[in-house]
C-alpha cells in the first residue's frame, strides 16, 4: 500500500545542510512512498501552559494533524551542544500536549548530521529518549548520521551530492516504509 511521510526539520537556517537533506528526501523515496515537509518549527511560540490554556496555536494544531494523518515522520536535525536544538525540542514539547498524541504509535526515522565526524550521534540518542515519552515507534536501524556533512550535501541545490550517503538515506526511507506497512 502507498505510504505518506512528513519531514520535521530541526534547523531554522536558510542555508541549512539539514534543510538540503530534508528537501532531497522525496526524490530518494522508493516507489509508493510520498514525502512532504511539515513547515517551519520557527513559527511556533515558546511552549507555555498559559498559551496552551488560551488554545493551541494554529501552527501547532496544523502540524499535529498532519503528523497524525501521516504513516510516519522523518526528523532531520543538527546537533546543538551535544543535544536536540531548542526549536525542535520546543516543537516536540507542543506536540506532546496535543490529545490524542500525534506521535503515539507513529513510525519515526531520525537523520542527523554534523560538520564533524560523529554526525550528530549524541543529539540522535537524546532525541530517541524524548520520543519514548511521546510513545513513538522509532526505527532502530539503519541509523543516518552524516559526518562531514558540508562535503556531502549541496545546500544551494538542496541535494545530497554524495552518492553513498544518498543511497543510505534511501535505504532508511525504505526501512521506515516497511515498518509503516507492518
Site residues, ligand FNR (CB under 6 A): 11, 13, 16-18, 78-82, 114-116, 120
CB of 125 to ligand FNR, least distance (A): 12
- Choice between 30 and 42, CB closer to ligand FNR: 42
Q: Which residues on adjacent β-strands are paired with residue 3? A: 33
Nearer to ligand FNR, 23 or 71 (CB): 23
Q: Which is nearer to ligand FNR, 17 or 103 (CB)?
A: 17
Q: In the complex, what is the shortest distance from the CB of residue 83 to ligand FNR, in angstroms, rounded to a whole number?
A: 7
C-alpha cell at 151: 562535503
Which is closer to ligand FNR, CB of 155 or CB of 177? 155
CB of 49: closest distance to ligand FNR in angstroms?
Answer: 26
Nearest 5°: phi and psi at 123?
Answer: -65, -35
Q: How far is the CB of 120 from ligand FNR (least distance, A)?
A: 6
Amino acid at each position: 500500500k502507498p505510504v505518506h511521510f512528513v519531514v520535521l526539520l530541526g534547523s531554522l537556517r536558510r542555508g541549512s545542510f539539514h534543510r538540503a537533506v530534508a528537501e532531497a528526501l522525496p526524490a530518494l523515496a522508493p516507489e509508493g512512498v510520498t514525502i512532504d515537509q511539515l513547515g517551519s518549527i520557527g513559527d511556533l511560540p515558546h511552549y507555555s501552559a498559559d498559551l496552551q490554556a488560551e488554545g493551541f496555536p494554529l501552527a501547532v494544531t496544523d502540524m499535529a494533524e498532519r503528523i497524525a494523518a501521516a504513516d510516519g515522520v522523518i526528523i532531520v536535525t543538527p546537533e546543538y551542544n551535544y543535544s536536540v536544538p531548542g526549536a525542535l525540542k520546543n516543537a516536540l514539547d507542543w506536540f506532546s500536549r496535543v490529545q490524542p498524541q500525534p506521535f503515539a504509535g507513529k513510525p519515526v526515522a531520525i537523520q542527523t548530521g554534523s560538520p564533524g565526524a560523529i554526525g550528530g550521534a549524541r543529539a540522535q540518542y537524546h532525541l530517541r529518549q524524548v520520543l519514548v515519552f511521546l510513545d513513538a515507534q522509532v526505527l532502530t536501524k539503519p541509523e543516518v548520521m552524516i559526518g562531514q556533512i558540508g562535503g556531502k550535501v549541496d545546500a544551494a541545490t538542496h541535494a545530497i551530492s554524495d552518492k553513498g550517503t544518498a543511497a543510505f538515506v534511501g535505504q532508511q526511507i525504505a526501512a521506515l516504509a516497511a515498518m509503516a506497512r507492518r
